[in-house]
Structure 1
Amino acid sequence: MAIQKISESVYMGMCLEMGTPQQVASRRDIRDIVEMLKYNKMLNRPFTVMLSGSEREGFRLSGSDLDYMRWQNNHRVIWYFFQVQFYNTQEHALILCDSSKSPPGFTLLWLPLETANSRVMSACVRMNGMLYISSSKYREVTCSIILSDSTQHGPCSSGLYGGELKYDHAHCFVSDFWPPSASSWIDRCHSWPPRQVVSEIIRNGCHFVAIGHKLGNHADNEWRISFSRAEYKLVYSMNHTQFLTYGLLKLFLKKIINNGLRDGDKLLCSYHIKTAVFWSIQQNALPHWHPKNLLHGFWVCFKLLLKWVYEGNCPNFFIPENNMFLSNIYGEAQRMLFTQLYKLYEKGITLLLHSPSINSYIINVLCNPRLTICTVEHTLISEVEVDMDIFYEMGSIDSIGRVELRICRKYLHAVEESISLPLTQYHIVMLQKLTATIFQCTAFILHRMYTCTCTGSNKQLYIVEKMACNMLKIAARFGCVSDMLYIAMYYYKTCKYREALSVIDITKVKLDQPYLMYQIHVDRDRYIEAVGGQSLSTKLRQAVAQDIQLDVDIFDIDKLKPEQQSSNQHNEPILIIPPLVLLYMLELLCSRHVGTMRKQRALDDLQVLAHHDQGQLVPAHLKDIYWEILGICQQITGNPQAALYSYQQSLRQDPYNRIQTATRQRIQNLHI
């Protein structure tokens, strides 16, 4: 009975650590709908990008990498020559698998016809008179495509976003067909996953990532068969106890097994953990997975992992003949790892006491055996916490990338088509916010087209401006409270300063509401009083503010051009600005043309944030752009000494927006 209570307590703690079923579902749905829209077939994009790894699975773990897979849409891998019939060879360069000389789970990629693009051709080598794509050469060719300062890490291009968030981009190829070597997996799927999930996985084929088997005969040229898409579909099909068991094992690996080890010394990885969970679920090692036996599930998976280390064989879930321990867990390393794991095994479930994020939930029950544990979702986490998680997630990916007018039109058509699909509430609210973003982009692109090219009559320009304004007003009705600022920004660009100030006044009132949610800051009681129990769409429109994202190619502001150019030069094409900071800047810029008293008041309000805000209105990671904008406004109002101090403060902050080049140039130009 005690172990069941401890399991329930750990389940509760893991829900707080990893997310409740509702939070996890919202994260997945939001990511899925964004990807579906961005890479809709109507857009005819030359490439597709897919988020993978723990972020795609629904985890939000501190220190986790962002893992992406990227492939060219006009290249396809086939397994047999007869599969050529499914493609137009004028549109697709076809690549044929040759697995005859490779270990299980790996293959050579043969180009029977030299029809690939120049990037692929530059990565080719000749073997026995035939042309093969070399994985090592392809890694070299693609390493700096996304970001110029990327470095090679396994099959990926790696680096840091904003100086702290690590990314891994795997440049790969895709096949629409399921690998013949994984056909036995289909026959094993009797009880899990469900039949419809199996069908969807097979329909989506597989990928090939640029890394060979270390012990293979062609390590520099082989490619690993990747089942990343299949894997996140499998994780989606887990119940929440299974998902949290997987999460608990990930924590166990990070905090206990690999704690203190350098990357090169870590023998076990998260993929081994995931594989153990997949096998345990499919083999019915635990007939029923529910909160009361969470620790039993953990123990089943741990024992399977221990068995694999003892035997030196970790069978890939899709291709069991692929022993994933073969290249690094053998000999003395294997013996040492087994000894380490067996010592933990002998401690029993108390081994989890070594994990700071878990031990308190175990100790609570041991110290209070009569403690009643409730695992009902809505008692674990409040409506406000769930909403905060959802809107924060939305704000972090509310972008459609660099676009042009015809792409915006296709986006809107894709949104229209998606409405007929079976959508969850999370799909709907994310589509709503993306629609607002598309309208905003369209409005500013139209303005740029008709003013920069100087074509058309005054009447045409009037019509375009009216259309653009209407789009921005529609976007404000779809989007969140801070989306009003795009209207003010447009009025400023078109020299309608009084109209801009009128919008700013309305927005200021809305942003000053006591129930407003911005990032992780909100007055919970007032939020519930104002919008509690209402739809996510209503909450978004009435009670949520998000950062303003200024894409250098779309939302240019004259006074911020150096900052946008600096950011763009460092592979960050978007400036992220807190809404209130942009509001005060726009108010000051417009007031210069209307009234001097209001200009000073806007500057005073902006300066107050430096001394009285506790990170609620200006998050710590956005202090660089705050101090920069304050300096610009001080310089505009004739106070170069104060501007110098602000620019220096900007340079001392986390370089999130990559604006340091612009800041240093502004300091040089002050001539104090």
Structure 2
Amino acid sequence: MDSMGTSRIETAIQRISESVFVGLCNIAGTSQMVAMRRDMMEINDILNCKPTDSRGYTLMLSGSKKEGFRLKGSDIDIMMWPNNHRVISKLSQFQYYNINRQTLILSDCSNSPPGFTLLYLINPSTHGLIRKACVKMNERQCVSSSKYRQVWCSISPGFTQHGPCIYQEDSDFDQAISLYSDFWPPSASSWIDRCHSWPQPHVVDDIVKNGCHFVAIGHKLGRHENHEWRISFSLAEQKLVYAMNHSQALTFILLKLFIKEIINNEIADDDKLLCSYHMKTAVFWVIQQNIIPHCCPQNLLEGFWVCFKLLLKWVYEGVCPNFFIPENNMFLTKIYGEAQNQLFMRLFGLYEKGLASLLHSPSISPFIINVLFNPRLSICTNEHTLISETMFDLKVFEELYAKNTPFIQNLQRSFMYLHKIEYMINLPLLTQS
């Protein structure tokens, strides 16, 4: 093909990318709307989720809604951990705590697969659920993840187990029961060294200083599956999504729609091998490797295609490296053998169709067809023209009413909310990178 023909194709793809960008802004939100939602969620967290004392639990919202996106069918994910328990990875970290107020738990990864660990009590727990979940192992008290889930379900009528979560039928949220560490796990130290170009140093520092979580689920091939805990980087991932520019974030949204409406279409939940977390992992790797230096509306589909090819490579090799602990192959227990071959053939069939495979997505195809049928159509990607001030104000009120207004039970609780609001007045709003 001559250079003129190649140039025409590139121009056409750029224009389709612009149209898909506008469509995704309509579906998931403009950068201004996303930033507003994140601020709303942060305010909700401060008012309702952050602890007021060392007793009780801390709650943390996660998932696409916390990240500021509104997609049909998105669940609300909640992480929950006791305030007076902390996980440490070295005994030298003992010095930072008052053991009269904190129960310390030691993480020992030496006998677990990458990304997983055993947790041992260092000093006696005052928490009844933790005590009931302990089993004796290697002459030490090991906090068993399976027992911890069972204990939680036993005191939560109507709740059942779902992976590391407990959930209630007909509920739109999962509760991941977890434990928290103030420290970044040593097994993820290589991630810090990889962060040359993305994310920026201040984001890396913020992620590392906020530590990690441990969720109550073991590795299916681990020697101690019933007792192991998975190291979770949910908070770090949230901060990484915040560090994306809007085109990068919409590339992730496009991949979520791609897997939901095309790859996993008409497949039973139990038979689905790929999930949105795999898509998020691919986006993280592609951004960090700087394959597309400047992601923008004009090359959004190029970014999508790079991520899809990386996913195809992972399925072919049977290896999906965790972004923080690459030694943790997230395909190991599910995508292998005949299931791996069938998934690869399914994905390769989509690869052979090229970007035309997106025409199978009911959410995205109208924005592609619009350009194909109107080749001279002018597309404006200026986000300020995509939503009027009046409509934006309406969206703000929708978000306000969507949140549960705190029920003021007594005067003391009223003063607590007022104190938190005074605190928030001095906080900066989240800014879009």
Q: TM-score range by the shorter chain?
A: over 0.9
Give CA-to-partner distance per residue, 1:545-575, whole Å, 9 cap, x none.
Answer: xxxxxxxxxxxxxxxxxxxxxxxxxxxxxxx
| Residue of structure 1 in register with 2:309 after alignment | 303
- C-alpha displacement at 1:43, in angstroms? 4.9
User: Could you tell me how far apart the structure 2 residues matched to 1:405 and 1:91 are?
Assistant: 28
Residue identity matched to 2:412: R
Match of 1:73 among 59, 65, 83: 83
Match of 2:149 among 139, 147, 151: 139
1:177 maps to 2:183? yes
Residue identity matched to 2:237: E
Residue identity matched to 2:327: E
1:419 maps to 2:422? no
Give CA-to-partner distance per residue, 1:282-315, whole Å, 9 cap, x none.
Answer: 0011111000000000000000000000111000
CA contact (8 A) 1:43 1:411 kept: no
User: Could you tell me how far apart the structure 1 residues matched to 2:174 and 2:408 are?
Assistant: 21
| Residue of structure 2 in register with 1:408 after alignment | 414
Match of 1:330 among 336, 345, 369: 336
| Residue of structure 1 in register with 2:387 after alignment | 381
| Residue of structure 2 in register with 1:566 after alignment | none
Q: How is 1:573-584 mapped onto 2 (pairs within 5 angstroms)? A: none
Match of 2:158 among 149, 164, 168: 149
| Residue of structure 1 in register with 2:201 after alignment | 195
| Residue of structure 2 in register with 1:225 after alignment | 231
User: Could you tell me how far apart the structure 2 residues matched to 1:142 and 1:91 are?
Assistant: 23
User: Could you tell me how far apart the structure 2 residues matched to 1:158 and 1:393 are?
Assistant: 24
From the CA coordinates, give the structure whose radius of gyration is larger. 1
1:284 maps to 2:290? yes
Match of 2:135 among 125, 138, 151: 125
| SS across alignment from 1:286 | coil
1:319 maps to 2:325? yes
Residue identity matched to 2:378: T
CA contact (8 A) 1:110 1:133 kept: yes
CA contact (8 A) 2:46 2:420 kept: no
User: Could you tell me how far apart the structure 2 residues matched to 1:41 and 1:257 are?
Assistant: 41
Residue identity matched to 1:197: V
- C-alpha displacement at 1:128, in angstroms? 2.3
CA contact (8 A) 1:158 1:168 kept: yes
Residue identity matched to 1:293: N
User: Could you tell me how far apart the structure 2 residues matched to 1:39 and 1:353 are?
Assistant: 41
Match of 2:269 among 251, 263, 269: 263
| Residue of structure 2 in register with 1:214 after alignment | 220
Match of 2:364 among 358, 369, 372: 358
| Residue of structure 2 in register with 1:205 after alignment | 211
| SS across alignment from 1:347 | helix
Residue identity matched to 1:73: N
Identity %: 61
Q: How is 1:30-179 mapped onto 2 (pairs within 5 angstroms)? A: 30-40=40-50, 42-44=52-54, 46-143=56-153, 148-160=157-169, 163=170, 165-179=171-185
User: Could you tell me how far apart the structure 2 residues matched to 1:313 and 1:421 are?
Assistant: 42
Residue identity matched to 2:98: N
TM value normalised by structure 2: 0.94
CA contact (8 A) 2:59 2:80 kept: yes
User: Could you tell me how far apart the structure 1 residues matched to 2:187 and 2:71 are?
Assistant: 34
User: Could you tell me how far apart the structure 2 residues matched to 1:14 and 1:418 are?
Assistant: 32
The answer to which of 383-392 and 56-65 deviates more is 383-392
| SS across alignment from 2:35 | helix
- C-alpha displacement at 1:412, in angstroms? 1.5
- C-alpha displacement at 1:367, in angstroms? 1.0
User: Could you tell me how far apart the structure 2 residues matched to 1:408 and 1:180 are?
Assistant: 42
- C-alpha displacement at 1:395, in angstroms? 1.4
Give CA-to-partner distance per residue, 1:492-524, whole Å, 9 cap, x none.
Answer: xxxxxxxxxxxxxxxxxxxxxxxxxxxxxxxxx
CA contact (8 A) 2:99 2:123 kept: no
Q: How is 1:502-651 mapped onto 2 (pairs within 5 angstroms)? A: none
Match of 1:343 among 341, 349, 356: 349
CA contact (8 A) 1:9 1:373 kept: yes
- C-alpha displacement at 1:262, in angstroms? 1.1
CA contact (8 A) 1:14 1:244 kept: yes
User: Could you tell me how far apart the structure 2 residues matched to 1:260 and 1:96 are?
Assistant: 44
User: Could you tell me how far apart the structure 2 residues matched to 1:364 and 1:190 are?
Assistant: 40
Match of 1:275 among 260, 277, 281: 281
Give CA-to-partner distance per residue, 1:594-617, whole Å, 9 cap, x none.
Answer: xxxxxxxxxxxxxxxxxxxxxxxx
| SS across alignment from 2:345 | helix
Residue identity matched to 1:259: N
CA-based RMSD of the aligned residues comes to 1.7
Give CA-to-partner distance per residue, 1:314-334, whole Å, 9 cap, x none.
Answer: 000000000000010011111
Q: Tell me, which stretches of 5 or more residues in structure 2 are unaligned? A: 1-10
| Residue of structure 1 in register with 2:5 after alignment | none
CA contact (8 A) 2:63 2:77 kept: yes
Give CA-to-partner distance per residue, 1:53-73, whole Å, 9 cap, x none.
Answer: 111111211111111000000
| SS across alignment from 2:393 | helix
Label 1:117 to 1:42 Cα distance change in 2 as closer, same or farther (>3 A). closer
Residue identity matched to 1:152: Q
- C-alpha displacement at 1:223, in angstroms? 0.2
- C-alpha displacement at 1:401, in angstroms? 5.7
| SS across alignment from 1:299 | helix
Residue identity matched to 2:71: L
| Residue of structure 2 in register with 1:371 after alignment | 377
- Matched residues, number: 422
User: Could you tell me how far apart the structure 1 residues matched to 2:372 and 2:78 are?
Assistant: 42
- C-alpha displacement at 1:403, in angstroms? 4.8
User: Could you tell me how far apart the structure 2 residues matched to 1:41 and 1:267 are?
Assistant: 37
CA contact (8 A) 1:39 1:45 kept: no
TM value normalised by structure 1: 0.61
User: Could you tell me how far apart the structure 2 residues matched to 1:306 and 1:289 are?
Assistant: 21
CA contact (8 A) 1:213 1:224 kept: yes
User: Could you tell me how far apart the structure 2 residues matched to 1:329 and 1:26 are?
Assistant: 38
User: Could you tell me how far apart the structure 2 residues matched to 1:214 and 1:169 are?
Assistant: 21
User: Could you tell me how far apart the structure 1 residues matched to 2:125 and 2:199 are?
Assistant: 39
Residue identity matched to 1:379: T
| Residue of structure 2 in register with 1:550 after alignment | none
CA contact (8 A) 2:135 2:143 kept: yes
| Residue of structure 1 in register with 2:8 after alignment | none
CA contact (8 A) 2:218 2:225 kept: yes
| SS across alignment from 1:70 | strand
1:399 maps to 2:408? no
CA contact (8 A) 1:42 1:414 kept: no
CA contact (8 A) 1:276 1:305 kept: yes
| SS across alignment from 2:334 | coil
CA contact (8 A) 2:38 2:430 kept: no
CA contact (8 A) 1:143 1:156 kept: no
Q: How is 1:460-539 mapped onto 2 (pairs within 5 angstroms)? A: none
User: Could you tell me how far apart the structure 1 residues matched to 2:98 and 2:414 are?
Assistant: 28
Give CA-to-partner distance per residue, 1:141-166, whole Å, 9 cap, x none.
Answer: 11365x52121111101124xx4x52
User: Could you tell me how far apart the structure 2 residues matched to 1:184 and 1:418 are?
Assistant: 35
User: Could you tell me how far apart the structure 2 residues matched to 1:43 and 1:384 are?
Assistant: 41
* Structure number having the greater helix percentage: 1
Label 1:99 to 1:134 Cα distance change in 2 as closer, same or farther (>3 A). same
| Residue of structure 2 in register with 1:444 after alignment | none
| Residue of structure 1 in register with 2:7 after alignment | none
| SS across alignment from 2:326 | coil
User: Could you tell me how far apart the structure 1 residues matched to 2:284 and 2:203 are?
Assistant: 14
